[in-house]
Structure formats: C-alpha cells, structure tokens
Amino acid sequence: MSNENEVTADEHDDFGGLHRDLSVVTRRRALWLAGGALGAVALAACGVSTKNSSSSTTLAPASSTTLANGSDVGATCTKIPSETAGPFPGDGSNGPDVLRESGVVRRDIRSSFGPYSGTANGVPLTMRFKLLNIANGCSPYAGAALYVWHCTADGGYSLYSNGVKNQNFLRGVGQADSDGWVEFVTAFPGCYSGRWPHVHFEVYPTLDKATNVKNKIATSQLALPKDVCEKVYATSGYGQSARNLSGTSLANDMVFRDGWTSQLGTVTGNVNDGFVSQLNVAI
C-alpha cells in the first residue's frame, strides 16, 4: 500500500505557476555571512574538504567548453540540461515561497525553519555542487546561489504533501564560494512511483537575486546512482522506496530518459557514516 504522503509521477508533471512580482526586502547578505561562518566551523569539525576529490569524473564532451586553467573538475564541462521544477518548488511560482524567508540560507536542510518545526529522517547525505560559468571559460561561478529541494524518505514534499504541509524541511539556499562550491547536508531522498531518485535545484546569479524566482538562470535535477540507492533503501524507513526503485530506471524516467550523463552525481560513503554526492553544474 502506498504511503499517504507519497506522490506519483503523474503529480510531478511540469506546470509553471503564476510568476509573481516580489518585493525584495531582505537581510539575506547578513544571514549568509553568519551562516557561512558557522558552516566553515562545521566543515572543519567534520573534516570535510572544500576541494574536489580525485575520484571526480570528467563530464560528457557533448556541447562542452574547455575549462579555465587551474580548474579541478576535468578537461571539459557540459551545460547542465534544463529540467522541470515540478509542482512542488516552493519558490513562489505556484504558491508557497521559501526564498524570501529568513533562515532559508543554510547548509543543513534536514530541519524546518521559521514558523515550522520538525526534522526529516533518513540516511545522511552531503550534497556538493560545483557551479561553473560557461561564459567565463567554465571558471568557478563564485557568488552564484543554489536553491535545492527534494522529497522525504517516503516520497512527500514539504509544504505540499499530506502529512508534511506544515513543514519546510529539505529545502535550502547556499552561495558558491570562491571555488564555485555549494554544500548541503540532508536526508537521502526517497523514490516515489514513476520517478528516478532525484534532487531539484535552481541557480541564481547572486544570493540577493535568489529571493525571486524570476531571477533564476537555470533549473535542473541531480540523479542519484542505482547502487547507492539500493543500499540506502535497504535500511529502515525506505521500504516503499525500495519497491518503487525496482519498477523504474533512468532510461524510462520522464526527466532523465533523454540523457543523464551530466546530471548523475558521483557518490561515495556508506549507510553508517552517510554519503557524499558531487555534481558539476555548468551554466
């Protein structure tokens, strides 16, 4: 029996809600500076490096651009494909809007913030995105902002799905550092019927502009590797995800079936200590 919080692929069809003119009055810059300092302390405590690992793979050569000298992400970069934001973006395009909320700029997105309280359960996942500026020779896109969101272990989306409408966890905004890196700590996403396990994200040119969905310059999705998903979904709380995963594939997924090479994250780790994913995002 499906969980009442679970969504299906039919509910995930693309529709663009009304894009609203937003009044941007924010302390975003101060909030990010404070959050960045705390994030740096957390990174040091956890022993997480801010440099790309030697195991990173070179992106597919199609539509690629040679990287600037000194890059550590391979020989070429591929423009990230444009994908649907789906019906649960929470960016103000169809109702709920977390982008203007105080507290959305954060590294750890497992808990709700602002007027909500609650924490999403699941295997820990650290998501690392390297933003690259194609117009500038695929150099690091320092200062750009990334908004990410994804479903819970049982397939529900905060602010939208039954049981988690009064939560805003598994959503957050981060700003790329001087090397283009943006990092989030989250709970590994579940797999709902008809969709491959994934994470949504939007890219904005600056943190200040990440308060209005009209300013986004890219929308795409991160795909998670099958072997890692199988390990995670064998743990407690992911039973329905395991069953859903067995009935889908990247080749028949409505988003990734036309190609997923540049969207498939490189993932390392284990279920006890958590996993780390990395993805190059060239815009």
For residue 59 the two structure tokens come to 């992106």
DSSP state of 135: G
Tell me the per-residue pLDDT of 78-100, one tens digit each, with 9 for 90 and over: 999 999 999 999 999 999 999 99
Interatomic CA distance for residues 70 and 67, integer angstroms: 8
In terms of pLDDT, which residue wins out, 187 or 47? 187
What percent of the chain has pLDDT above 70? Answer: 73
**4, pLDDT greater than 80:** no
pLDDT score of 140 = 97
Rounded distance between C-alpha atoms, residue 24 and residue 47, angstroms: 36
| Model confidence at 14: pLDDT above 80 | no
3-state per-residue secondary structure call for 7-28? CCHHHHCCCCCCCCCCCCCCCH
Q: Which residue has the tokens 């405590």?
A: 45
**102 vs 51, which has greater pLDDT?**
102
Mean pLDDT throughout 173-196? 98
Write the DSSP assignment of 203-229 as a string of letters. EESSSGGGGSGGG--EEEEEE--HHHH
Question: Does 235 score more than 80 pLDDT?
Answer: yes
Separation of alpha carbons 278 and 57, rounded Å: 10
Give me Rg for the CA atoms of the chain: 18
- Residue 77 pLDDT: 86
Q: 213 near 93, Cβ under 8 Å? A: yes
pTM value surpassing 0.85: no
**What pLDDT was estimated at residue 165?**
97
**Alpha-carbon 83 to chain mean position:** 13
- Tell me: the pLDDT tens digits for 26-59? 334 444 444 444 444 333 333 333 333 322 333 3
Cβ-contact 223, 264 below 8 angstroms? yes
